[in-house]
Chain A
Amino acid sequence: MGDFDIYSAFQRILKNDQISTPLAAIFALTELIENSDGIDLIPLHRSSPAHSHLAGTMFELVKALNDGAEALTKQASNPISLNAGCELFIAFVTLFPHDSANFTDLKKELIRQGQNYAAEALTYRKKIAELAFGFIKDGSVILTHSYSRVVMQTLLLAHKRKRISVFVTEARPRGLGIKTAEVLTAAGVPSTVILDSAVAYVMDKVDFVLVGSEAVVESGGLVNAVGSNQIAIIARAANKPFYALAESYKFHRLFPLSQYDLPSHNSKILSFPHPLPVDIPSTINSLTKQPLPESSTSSNNEPDPIPPRITQEQISENNPDVDYTRSVLLSTSTVRIYNTDVPNDN
Chain B
Amino acid sequence: MPVPIIADPPPFAGGKPQGQPAQQAMTRAERRELQEKQRAAKAALKGQPPQPKESSQGKQSQGTVTTAGQAKAKTPSTPSKKAFAGDIQGSKASTSKDLSLGLVGEDMPPKQLSHGLRIFSHFGQPKPVGHTVKGDIHPAIIRLGLLYSDFKICGANARCIAMLTAFKQVIQDYTTPSHSTISRHLMTHLSPQITHLVSARPMSVTMGNAIRELKLEISAIDIDVIEQDAKESLCLKIDNYIRDRIIIADEVIQELAGKKIKDGDVILTYAKSSVVEKVLLEAQEEGKKFSVIVIDSKPLLEGKILLRSLTSGPNPIPCTYALLPALPSLLTQVTMVLVGAHALFSNGAVYSRAGTAMIAMMAKTNSVPVVVCCETYKFSDGVMVDGFTRNELVPLSVTQKNSRSHDIVPALNLDNLNPLYDLTPPTYITAVVTEVGLIPPSSISSIPLALGKASL
Interface residues of A in 179-237 (CB under 8 A from B): 218-220
Considering the complex, give the chain B residue whose CB is closest to the CB of A218: B438
Q: Say if the beta carbon of A327 comes within 8 Å of chain B.
A: yes
Residues on the B chain within 8 Å of A261, using CB:
260, 369
Interface string of A252-291 (1 = CB under 8 A from B): 0101011001000000000000000000000000000000
Question: Is the CB–CB distance between B439 and A257 below 8 Å?
Answer: no
| Secondary structure class of chain B's binding surface, majority of residues | strand
How many angstroms from the CA of A253 to the CA of B437 in the assembled complex? Answer: 9
Q: Does B437 lie within 8 Å of A257, measured CB to CB?
A: no
Tell me if B440 and A219 are in contact (CB < 8 A). Answer: yes
The residue of chain B having its C-beta at the shortest distance from the C-beta of A258 within the complex is B369
Q: How many CB-defined contacts (below 8 Å) exist between A and B?
A: 26
- Determine the distance from Cα of A255 to Cα of B260 in the docked complex, in whole angstroms: 9
Question: Which residues of A295-346 have CB atoms within 8 Å of chain B's CB atoms?
Answer: 327
CB distance from A284 to the nearest CB of B (A): 29
The answer to whether A255 touches B431 (Cβ under 8 A) is yes
> Which residues of A are found within 8 Å of B437, using beta-carbon distances?
218, 253, 255
Q: Which residues on the A side are within 8 Å of B438 (C-beta)?
A: 218-219, 255
**B contact residues around A255 at 8 Å (CB):** 431, 437-440
| Inter-chain contacts of A220 with B (CB < 8 A) | 440, 442
Question: Could you tell me the distance between the alpha carbons of A220 and B441 in the complex, rounded to whole angstroms?
Answer: 11
Whether a CB of chain A sits under 8 angstroms from the CB of B430 is: yes
With the chains together, A261 CA to B367 CA distance in Å? 14
Q: Is B279 an interface residue (CB 8 A)?
A: no
Q: Do the beta carbons of B439 and A218 come within 8 Å of each other?
A: yes
- Considering only CB atoms and an 8 Å cut-off, how many residues of chain A contact the other chain? 9
Give chain A nearest CB distance to B403 CB in angstroms.
36
CB within 8 Å of B: which A33-47 residues: none
The digit string for B406-444, where 1 denotes a CB below 8 A from any CB of A, is 000000000000000000000000110000011110100
- B260, A257: Cβ atoms closer than 8 Å: yes
Q: Smallest distance from the beta carbon of B428 to chain A beta carbons, Å? A: 12
Distance A80 CA – B430 CA, assembled complex (angstroms): 21
- Beta-carbon contact of B430 and A257 below 8 Å: yes
Cβ A257 vs Cβ B440 within 8 A: no
Q: Which residues of B lie under 8 Å from residue A218 when comparing CB positions?
A: 437-440
Residues of B with C-beta under 8 A to A257: 260, 336, 369, 371, 430-431
Q: Which residue of A lies closest to B438 (CB)?
A: A255
Q: How far is the CA of A255 from the CA of B371 in the complex (A)?
A: 11
Q: Which residue of chain A has the shortest Cβ distance to B260 in the bound complex?
A: A257
Residues of B within 8 A of A253 (CB): 437
Please indicate the chain A residues that have their CB under 8 angstroms from the CB of B260 in the complex: 257, 261
Q: How far is the CA of A219 from the CA of B369 in the complex (A)?
A: 13
Kindly report which residue of chain A lies nearest to residue B336, judged by CB atoms. A257
The CA of A261 and the CA of B371, in the complex, are separated in Å by 13
Taken together as a complex, chains A and B put the C-alpha atoms of A253 and B256 apart, in Å, by 12
Query: 1/0 per residue B355-390: CB within 8 Å of A?
Result: 000000000000001010000000000000000000
**Residue of B371, B437, B440 ringed by the most chain A CB atoms within 10 A:** B440
Q: Which residues of A contact B (CB under 8 A)?
A: 218-220, 253, 255, 257-258, 261, 327
Residues in B lying within 8 Å of A, measured CB to CB? 260, 336, 369, 371, 430-431, 437-440, 442
The 7 listed contacts between A and B (C-beta, < 8 Å) are A218-B437, A220-B440, A253-B437, A255-B431, A255-B439, A257-B260, A257-B431
